[in-house]
Each structure stands twice: as structure tokens, then as C-alpha cells.
């Protein structure tokens, strides 16, 4: 069985966001906390008015701070009414569409993984590293001193 780490990680990062939003639902925003949430506006389950979609065709960031209404958190999305240029606007934001969220007051932010985890090392670099380990030869650019020339 192949372990899908990116799916597991994304699910748990979304749970962090859900827990924060549920906390805000129960207790409100306290002591200066405010949330910046960036999401994909073109997600098929995101609900935003067309005039706002025209302005933000792929993604937008909303701020939950002082004025918000009709706020609720469901299992797979949250709903909120925010004011854009003094126009109260209802939004439905699916959790799967969220790209990132942050609370600047708490100095906390989280970028949610989208679809796959980036490879830390590409296969070419990995093969080079394996080869170096086999031969135990390093260059000056690796900031490692070659010990072979000091051996008896």
C-alpha cells in the first residue's frame, strides 16, 4: 500500500483551519486576532457573486476581523457575509479551495499543500549525492575538505 503523505498532510492542515474557525464561531475574535484567508475563487464549489469573480478570477484573500455576518462552519466549507465597498456579500468557501490562512496578531500562518508535495530533491540531484557518497569524494564547493590527500 502506498502512503499518500500529501493527502494526509493537507487533511490535517485543513483541520487546523477548521479548529480556528470553530473557535472564532464559539468565542469570537479576541485580543486583536484577525484572519487572512486566501482561496481559489474558481473552485466549482466556491460561491461568490459574479462581479467579485470578475475582479478575482483565480484567487482572493478575505479578512475576518471587525465586520462579518452570517458566519458558520460546516464539515467541508464555511459561510460568511463580508462587506466589499459597502456591499454585503455572501460567500461560501470550501476548505479544499483554501490556499493559505494567517493570523498576523499571533504571528501564525499556514500555506496549505495543493494537490502534491513538492519534491525536496529531484532525482538527478539525488543520484549525484548517492554517487558522492559511494566515492567519498567531495569538492571545495561543497564546503568539505578532501581528507584522502591527508591519509598515509
Q: What is the pTM of this model?
A: 0.70
How many CB atoms neighbour CB 96 within 10 A?
16
For position 90, which CATH number holds? 2.30.30.220
Quick one: how many helices (H) and strands (E) in the chain? 3, 7
DSSP letter at 125? H
- Helix (H) or strand (E) segment spanning residue 12: helix 5-27
**pLDDT one-digit tens code per residue, 40-77:** 999 989 999 999 999 999 999 999 998 889 999 999 99
Give me the domain span that covers residue 50: 5-111
Structural domain includes residue 146: no
Structural domain includes residue 149: no
Distance (Å, rounded) from C-alpha 135 to C-alpha 130? 9
Cell 571545495 sits at which residue? 140
Structural domain includes residue 48: yes
Report whether 51 contacts 81 (CB < 8 A). no
Structural domain includes residue 91: yes
- Count structural domains, the chain: 1
Structural domain includes residue 126: no
What's the chain's length in residues?
A: 152
Structural domain includes residue 128: no
The pLDDT, as a whole number, for residue 35 is 92
Structural domain includes residue 116: no
How many CB atoms neighbour CB 90 within 10 A?
13
Structural domain includes residue 65: yes
Residues of the chain with pLDDT under 70: 113-152
The pLDDT, as a whole number, for residue 11 is 84
Cell 460546516 sits at which residue? 74
Amino acid at each position: 500500500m502506498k502512503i499518500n503523505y500529501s493527502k494526509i498532510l493537507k487533511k490535517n492542515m485543513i483541520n487546523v483551519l477548521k479548529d480556528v474557525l470553530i473557535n472564532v464561531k464559539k468565542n469570537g475574535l479576541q485580543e486583536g486576532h484577525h484572519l487572512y484567508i486566501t482561496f481559489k475563487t474558481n473552485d466549482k464549489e466556491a460561491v461568490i457573486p459574479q462581479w467579485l469573480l470578475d475582479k478575482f478570477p483565480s484567487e482572493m484573500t478575505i479578512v475576518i476581523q471587525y465586520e462579518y455576518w452570517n458566519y458558520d462552519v460546516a464539515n467541508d466549507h464555511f459561510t460568511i457575509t463580508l462587506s466589499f465597498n459597502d456591499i454585503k456579500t455572501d460567500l461560501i468557501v470550501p476548505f479544499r479551495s483554501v490556499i493559505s490562512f494567517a493570523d498576523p496578531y499571533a504571528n501564525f500562518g499556514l500555506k496549505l499543500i495543493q494537490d502534491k508535495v513538492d519534491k525536496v530533491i529531484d532525482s538527478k540531484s539525488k543520484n549525484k549525492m548517492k554517487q558522492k557518497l559511494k566515492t567519498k569524494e567531495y569538492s571545495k564547493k561543497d564546503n568539505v575538505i578532501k581528507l584522502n590527500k591527508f591519509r598515509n
